[in-house]
Amino acid sequence: MTVEYLPVEGCEECEFFGTACPECIMYGETSVNKSDMIMDKAREMDWETALRLVNTAVDLHASRTAAHGQFSPEAVEKSAEIQAAWIRIQRG
């Protein structure tokens, strides 16, 4: 995976090369271009990994929703709805 560092504004060297210079990277002056990082990951990710990660996120969100609502009937229903949505998505 390649991580792209954005050129630091005001640094001549960064601006000349159109990317972060080693010095700025070393001193943490640069920010990572997150969307490029995400797109790189998405390109390289296989279906099973993606499924596993989304599954974890859905489980976490569903249990947090239930716990956040102190497991009231409404919170439990909302939590069930989140899990149902994921099952629905997997069905296509």
Cβ distance to Zn ion smaller for residue 14 or 66:
14
Whether 5 contacts 19, CB under 8 Å: yes
Whether 25 contacts 6, CB under 8 Å: no
How distant is the alpha carbon of residue 74 from its chain centre?
29
Contact string (CB under 5 A) for Zn ion, positions 16-45, x = contact = -----x--x---------------------
Q: Should residue 5 be labelled a site residue for Zn ion when binding is judged by CB under 5 A?
A: no
Q: Should residue 66 be labelled a site residue for Zn ion when binding is judged by CB under 5 A?
A: no
76 CB-side CA count, 13 A:
4
| Residues binding Zn ion (CB under 5 A) | 8, 11, 13-14, 21, 24
